[in-house]
Amino acid sequence: ARTSAGNEGGRKKVVGFAQMENNGPWRIAETKSMRDEAAKRGYELVATDAQTQTSKQISDVEDMVARKVEAIFLAPREFEGLDGALAVAKQAKIPVFLIDREAAGTPGQDYVTFIGSNFVEEGRRVGEWTVKNTNGAAGIIILEGTAGSSVALDRNKGFLAAIKSSPDMKILASQPADFARATGQKVMENLIQAHGKKITVVYTHNDEMALGAIQALKAAGMNPGKAVKVVSVDGQKSALEAIIAGDLNVTVECNPRFGPIAFDTYEKYLRGEQIPPKIIVPDKFFDSSNAAQFVAEAY
C-alpha cells in the first residue's frame, strides 16, 4: 500500500479539526485548507463544526478524544472555556494544536503550540495607516469581532495603541458585530443614526463586517472609501474587490490557509522536534496599490 505521512502501510491516521463555525469565506477557506492538506498527505480528517457555540466545541473535542484521533487541530471561538476539553485530550495523550485563535492555557503543557497571526500587530498596522491618512483627526466607529475572542481583544489593543498619541482621533463608538456581515450592517445602521456626519472612519475587525458597514454607509449616502474611510482585516476576495471599486480603503491580511503549516508542525512534533510555543504567520497589507495583483488568488 501507498505510504505517506498520514498513511502507514495502508492504514490512514485519523486526525481531528474542531472548527468553531463555517460562516463566511474566511472560515470556509480555513476548513477547505485543512481538508485539502489532510487529503494530500494521506490523513483522514474528522472535521466538526461548533456552529458558534463553545459548548458544542467542547463536546466536539471530547468526541474526538473518545474516538482516539491521533491529534486535534482546534480553532477556538472564545479564549475562555476550553480548558476542560484540553485537559481531556491531555489525559488521553492526544496532542492539540491551536490554530487561528488563542485559548487560555500554557503552550507545551495544555496544548502544543498556537499557530496564527499577530493580531495586535494587525490592529496596529490598520491604526497607523488611519492616523497617517486622516492627518490625525477622525471620528471613528469600531465594529468589533466576537466578544471574548482573542482576536477581537488584540485587534482593538493594537489599533488603540496606534492612535493613542493623536488626541484628535476620537472614538465615537465601539461595538461588537460578531465578525458577521448582516450584524455589521445592522450595527452600522444604528451607529449612523446616532453619530451621522461625525463619522469619518470605520474600523472593522474583519472584512465581512466591513462589507456590511459599506452597505449601510451607502444606503445613508455617506460615501464609503472616500468621505468615510473604511479599514479592515482579512483580505478576502470580495474585500479586495471592494478596494478596487474604491469602497474599502485597506485591509491587513490574515491568511486562513492553515493546512500546510498545521500539518508541517504536527509532523515535526511526531519526529520529536522542538516546537516553539507560538508560530506567527506573516500578513501582507492590501490597499489600492496591490489589490488587483492579489484578487485572483484570494478566497
Sequence-distant (6+) residues with CB within 8 A of 106 are: none
Work out how close the CB of 132 gets to ligand GYE at its nearest, in angstroms, rounded to a whole number: 23
Smaller CB distance to ligand GYE: residue 117 or 134? Answer: 117
Work out how close the CB of 209 gets to ligand GYE at its nearest, in angstroms, rounded to a whole number: 8
Q: Which residue is nearest to ligand GYE (CB)?
A: 206
Binding site for ligand GYE (CB under 6 A): 24, 26-27, 100-101, 151, 179, 206, 233-234, 254
CA distance 205 to 176: 9
DSSP 8-class letter at 4: B
Work out how close the CB of 65 gets to ligand GYE at its nearest, in angstroms, rounded to a whole number: 23
Residue 83 in contact with residue 59, Cβ under 8 Å? no
Backbone phi, then psi, for 218, in 5-degree steps? -60, -45
Smaller CB distance to ligand GYE: residue 130 or 232? Answer: 232
**Counting Cβ atoms within 10 Å, is residue 17 exposed (0-12), middle (13-18) or buried (19+)?**
buried
Work out how close the CB of 229 gets to ligand GYE at its nearest, in angstroms, rounded to a whole number: 19
Smaller CB distance to ligand GYE: residue 12 or 237? Answer: 237
HEC string of 24-71 equals HHHHHHHHHHHHHHHHHHCCEEEEEECCCCHHHHHHHHHHHHHCCCCC
Smaller CB distance to ligand GYE: residue 174 or 183? Answer: 183
Work out how close the CB of 27 gets to ligand GYE at its nearest, in angstroms, rounded to a whole number: 6
Give 266's strand partners. Answer: none
Work out how close the CB of 50 gets to ligand GYE at its nearest, in angstroms, rounded to a whole number: 13
CA distance 233 to 241: 14
Smaller CB distance to ligand GYE: residue 233 or 262? Answer: 233
User: Rounded to an integer, what is the distance from CA 233 to the centroid of its chain?
Assistant: 9
Smaller CB distance to ligand GYE: residue 134 or 204? Answer: 204
